[in-house]
Amino acid sequence: MASTIASEDARYRQSSQYELWSFSPSQLASMREKTNAAARARITERLLSMPNPSNTASAPTSSANTPDPDGVSTPTLPEFLTPAEELLLVTFYTAELLRAGDHADMSDEIKATAATFFKRFYITNSIMTYPPQEMLLVALFFGCKAEGAFPSISDFAKTFGRERPEEILAGEFLLCQGIRFALDVKHPFRALRGAIMELSTLPDVEPARLVAAEQRAREILRFSPLITDAYFHFTPSQIMLAALSLADRGLAERLIQDTFHYVAPQPSSGTDTPATSGVETPSGASASISLHKRTASPSSGSLEDKAAVIGSHVRDKVLGTIEACRDMLSKELPERREHWNNKTVYKAQIQPIRKKLNKCRDPDRWNLVELQRIRREQASRKGFDSDDEGEGRTKGGSLEDDAAVFGVPKKKKQLEDPFGPPLAG
């Protein structure tokens, strides 16, 4: 089991989820602040460049202009959302996304993947720049495909009362770019099944208790880590153990204790019975002895290596991490679904921010269909027609012309980042 734990950890650390989308709380907060600041600067520039900003939907409700000393009117800029307000709206719309997934009878994996895509997108893109109502449907549709389900776009659109499927398709590449094309999302659902199977081998654990714990833990996994930032801070197995701890703390601690319990053999003993004197023995000592026999035999590797992987110091570190994740999930238990659906809460907390958003949204990025049309026209004017030349070839057909597809003028600059700019505010 120790080698399995090590190999699983090594594989996870090679995943895009770990390399691109794992952050400390301070890193995540800093990214959101930078995204908010970039969006404010860019929207301000666009509003000031408009002929008559007071007539746009993004302008403040008060259309009064302030004259400067030279007699030229300066448009009044709207009050922008703060990073905290953006995060609150992202959380609200994530809850709406999960509710929409329930409405369409989507699987747990599809809803979880879509919610993860949605939250990743709004780390490096501001909610003031791209419409969350549209992007949540884009995330759901693309989440279906990422999980191996391929619904008809027309049927999908009708499910959510949309008559124009292009409203959903227009945001697909934008979403892919925003999530850095990291389409593989690892979830804790399978880990929970494995944990329950492991616990079922213990003779003193009642089956009814396991059934109740699994049901509650799965209910938590369907909501709590998706609404919070758990996926950005913890691994799938840590999230699973935290959910199991909320469902049945005793079972979670038993699993951790038994997994990370190393007992060194007696040097003078000629048998394979581990020494127990002076060593902390958790509940279920027989399980620990069995684990020792499977993992700490000289033939399966160095005893020092085993102690490094499953020793008490590792166990204590794991317990601390699980407790931190548990605290995060406990702030958004499944019962909080009703909170985000509550009309009183909506009117008091969400509606004022949405009204504020309507005044400060980006005038050039809010309409996804129009934005896609403009970008296609720009690509066509550069000698690339993405509709007629589906193989990605330019009309000239030369290698130099092909380079222009990626925004590289002939022999003048290197290839730009294919994932887009760091902050698409």
Residue with tokens 């909170």: 339
Q: Check residue 317 and give its pLDDT.
A: 85
Q: Check residue 173 and give its pLDDT.
A: 92
What domains does the chain contain, in order, with CATH numbers?
20-63+74-185+342-389+417-425 (1.10.472.10), 187-268+282-334 (no CATH)
- Rounded mean pLDDT, 30-38: 96
Q: Check residue 220 and give its pLDDT.
A: 98
Least confident range of 73-77, 152-156, 262-266, 408-412: 408-412
232 pLDDT higher than 80: yes
Q: Check residue 345 and give its pLDDT.
A: 94
Q: Check residue 266 and give its pLDDT.
A: 53
What is the phi-psi region of residue 105: left when phi exceeds 0, alpha when psi lies from -120 to 50, beta otherwise? left
One-letter amino acid for residue 219 of the chain: E
Rg (CA), the chain: 27
- Rounded mean pLDDT, 388-404: 41
Burial class (CB in 10 A: 0-12, 13-18, 19+), 327: exposed
The contacts of residue 29 (CB under 8 Å, 6+ apart) are: 83
The Cα 332–Cα 269 span in angstroms is 52
The Cα 398–Cα 145 span in angstroms is 34
Q: Check residue 70 and give its pLDDT.
A: 52
261 pLDDT higher than 80: no
User: Which residues lie across from 65 on neighbouring strands?
Assistant: 75
> How many residues can be counted in the chain?
425
328 pLDDT higher than 60: yes
Q: What are phi and psi of 66, to 5 degrees?
A: -100, 115
pLDDT digits (tens, 9 = 90+) for 78-130: 999 999 999 999 999 999 999 999 999 999 999 999 999 999 999 999 999 99
pLDDT digits (tens, 9 = 90+) for 329-382: 999 999 999 999 999 999 999 999 999 999 999 988 888 888 888 888 888 877
Give CA torsion, residues 87, 92, 98, 101, to 10 deg.
-110
